[in-house]
């Protein structure tokens, strides 16, 4: 049976597998055909090992034929963001610094996927070290939005969202530090969930900002996201921030609607900077919830206006610390020392002529010189920018004024959410201020790029759960996302609310023209 993965969701594929109407190998072959046909245009994947994919799928079919009990995913293909360690396979973080790095172990979520009998389809493109909101900062390629390939897919999990939107994978895994799952999900018209901090193990996730990073699922529907989250979530003793709480059966409870749902609309999220079409789509989505019996209340998150500023102090500070390990000594990229020696004498003459004694002393230290050149050559511009921002904010004389103050305001932001959730069950609002923007439009304007995170960074600072679901299209045919946020460890509530909406609407079923097969 030949399948077009664009025609079936992950849940539907599982039903076909259970009825014997298809095999894991046939599904894997269909996914590989879609990648071959579309990924030269989209650029969602960095690595795909065709033979390894087919071998995994055939092994699962063999287990099924022998009557062995299979895991929750029982042969479904899953794409993985290239920020997660995969044993013996490239894990680059889309950076030249880790171009040849092959970890000796699997991240916990990768181990759980394998234990659930998933087929690891490949590693997806991203902004370098997850720093960016457009997937233009990759050292290797730009990922394009399947709905309009002249536009960005969002970031940093742009490849993870784009491969699902383009029907190259039914499921994918991303990471979210300030909106990096929800924002690309919103711009690409798929469903993406950032779990509560601690719900999913971060062991084997290459760190950007350790107090903010969280791994989560992307798929075409809340039902599929629930299925994948059930596999990813759970306590892990190897991650000291992992919470030891039971994992609900999300895939079963997701179908139960919520009664007497109270939804809050944040006053501060509907002001200057919000695109009119985005606001209209979000408000219409809220009216759908009203028709389903929800009560809508206006609420306030008074410190939300500081969220972007706080995030862009805390995250770069943590990045400065985490990325200090990339020094050209232990692993990763190392500068060409022969070329370094050849340039030494010309640099020496330049520093002597300029009277730069400190620089000359550094030049005479071969270890410092190697560190400097390795990091200068290995990191891209956005990563360097954030390392410098963080190093400055942590430096003597500035720590109290910037980092310490940001931590205090972060606590106030969390308190705003705690207060709001005493009044409402969920908070609804936009995912991003506008639909997807043009490639190259903001890459040289860091402030404009950072402000695009306005509605998503709050959930990371507060450590709460958030989900993006499709809720409409702009006049240009670009997807618009609705963000729902819930109290800590209430992913079940988020998924049930998202599924309610998707049962009442068809936005999540829309398919980009690029993914429409000739047989459709």
Q: What phi and psi values does residue 501 have, to the nearest 5 degrees?
A: -65, -45
Half-sphere exposure of 348 (CA within 13 A, CB side): 11
CA dist., res. 332 & res. 270, Å (int): 45
CA dist., res. 16 & res. 21, Å (int): 5
Task: Give the chain's length.
Answer: 520
CB atoms < 10 A from the CB of 87, how many? 15
| Burial (0-12, 13-18, 19+ Cβ within 10 Å), 29 | middle
Residue partners of 49: CB distance under 8 A and separation at least 6 = 89, 122
CA dist., res. 476 & res. 274, Å (int): 17
Show the CA angle centred on residue 355, arms to residues 354 and 360, nearest 5°. Answer: 100
Give the three-state DSSP class for 438.
strand
| Burial (0-12, 13-18, 19+ Cβ within 10 Å), 123 | buried
Classify strands 295-299 and 262-266 as parallel, antiparallel or unpaired.
parallel
Give the three-state DSSP class for 151.
strand
Residue partners of 277: CB distance under 8 A and separation at least 6 = 435, 472, 474, 475, 480
3-state SS of 15-83?
HHHHCCCCCHHHHHHHHHHHHHHHHHHHCCEEECCHHHHHHHHHHHHHHHHCCCCCCCCCCCEEEEECC
Q: Which string of DSSP letters, residue by residue, matches 454-483?
A: TTTHHHHHHT-EEEEEEEEE-TTS-EEEEE
Residue partners of 174: CB distance under 8 A and separation at least 6 = 81, 124, 157, 160, 161, 180, 181, 184, 192, 215, 216, 217, 218
Classify strands 214-219 and 262-266 as parallel, antiparallel or unpaired.
unpaired
Q: What phi and psi values does residue 471 have, to the nearest 5 degrees?
A: -135, 10
Terminal Cα distance for the chain, rounded: 16
Q: Which string of DSSP letters, residue by residue, matches 213-276?
A: -EEEEEESSHHHHHHHHHHHBS--TT-TT----PPP-HHHHTTSPPSS-EEEEEGGGSSTT--H
Q: Catalytic site residues? A: 81, 156, 180
CA dist., res. 478 & res. 41, Å (int): 18
Is-contact 215 236, C-beta < 8 A? no
């Amino acid at each position: 049976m030949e399948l077009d993965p664009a025609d079936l969701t992950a849940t539907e594929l599982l039903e076909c597998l259970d009825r014997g109407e298809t095999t894991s190998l046939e599904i894997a072959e269909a996914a590989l055909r879609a990648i071959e046909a579309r990924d030269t245009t989209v650029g969602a994947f960095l690595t795909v090992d065709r033979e390894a994919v087919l071998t995994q799928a055939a092994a699962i079919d063999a287990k099924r034929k022998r009557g062995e009990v299979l895991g929750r995913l029982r042969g479904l293909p899953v794409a993985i963001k290239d920020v997660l360690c995969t044993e013996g396979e490239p894990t680059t973080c889309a950076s030249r610094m880790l171009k040849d790095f092959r970890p000796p172990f699997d991240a916990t979520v990768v181990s759980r996927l394998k234990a659930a009998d998933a087929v690891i389809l490949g590693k997806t493109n991203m902004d370098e070290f997850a720093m960016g909101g457009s997937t233009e900062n990759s050292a290797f390629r730009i990922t394009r939005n399947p709905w309009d390939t002249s536009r960005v897919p969002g970031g940093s999990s742009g490849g993870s969202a784009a491969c699902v939107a383009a029907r190259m994978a039914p499921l994918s895994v991303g990471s979210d530090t300030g909106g990096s799952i929800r924002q690309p999900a919103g711009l690409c018209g798929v469903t993406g969930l950032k779990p509560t901090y601690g719900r999913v193990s971060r062991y084997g996730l290459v760190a950007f900002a350790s107090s903010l990073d969280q791994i989560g699922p992307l798929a075409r529907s809340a039902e599929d996201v629930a299925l994948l989250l059930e596999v990813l979530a759970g306590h892990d003793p190897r991650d000291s921030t992992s919470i030891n709480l039971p994992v609900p059966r999300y895939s079963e409870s997701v179908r139960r609607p919520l009664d007497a749902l109270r939804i809050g609309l944040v006053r501060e999220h509907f002001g200057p900077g919000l695109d009119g079409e985005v606001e209209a789509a979000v408000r219409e989505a809220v009216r759908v919830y009203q028709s389903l019996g929800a009560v809508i209340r206006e609420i306030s998150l008074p410190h939300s206006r500081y969220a972007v500023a706080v995030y862009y102090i805390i995250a770069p500070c943590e990045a400065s610390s985490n990325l200090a390990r990339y020094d050209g000594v232990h692993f990763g990229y190392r500068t060409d020392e022969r070329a370094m020696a050849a340039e030494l004498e010309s640099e020496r003459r330049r520093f002597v002529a300029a009277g730069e004694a400190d620089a000359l002393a550094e030049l005479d230290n071969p270890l410092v010189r190697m560190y400097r050149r390795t990091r200068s050559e290995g990191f891209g511009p956005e990563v360097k920018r954030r390392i410098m921002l963080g190093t400055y904010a942590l430096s003597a004389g500035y720590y109290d004024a910037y980092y310490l103050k940001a931590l205090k305001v972060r606590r106030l932001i969390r308190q705003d959410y705690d207060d709001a959730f005493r009044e409402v069950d969920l908070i609804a609002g936009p995912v991003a201020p506008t639909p997807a923007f043009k490639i190259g439009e903001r890459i040289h304007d860091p402030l404009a790029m950072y402000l695009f995170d306005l509605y998503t960074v709050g959930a990371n600072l507060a450590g709460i759960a958030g989900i993006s679901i499709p809720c409409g299209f702009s006049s240009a045919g670009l997807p618009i996302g609705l963000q729902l946020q819930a109290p800590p460890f209430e992913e079940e509530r988020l998924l049930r609310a998202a599924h309610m909406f998707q049962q009442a609407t068809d936005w999540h079923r829309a398919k980009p023209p690029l993914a429409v097969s000739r047989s459709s």
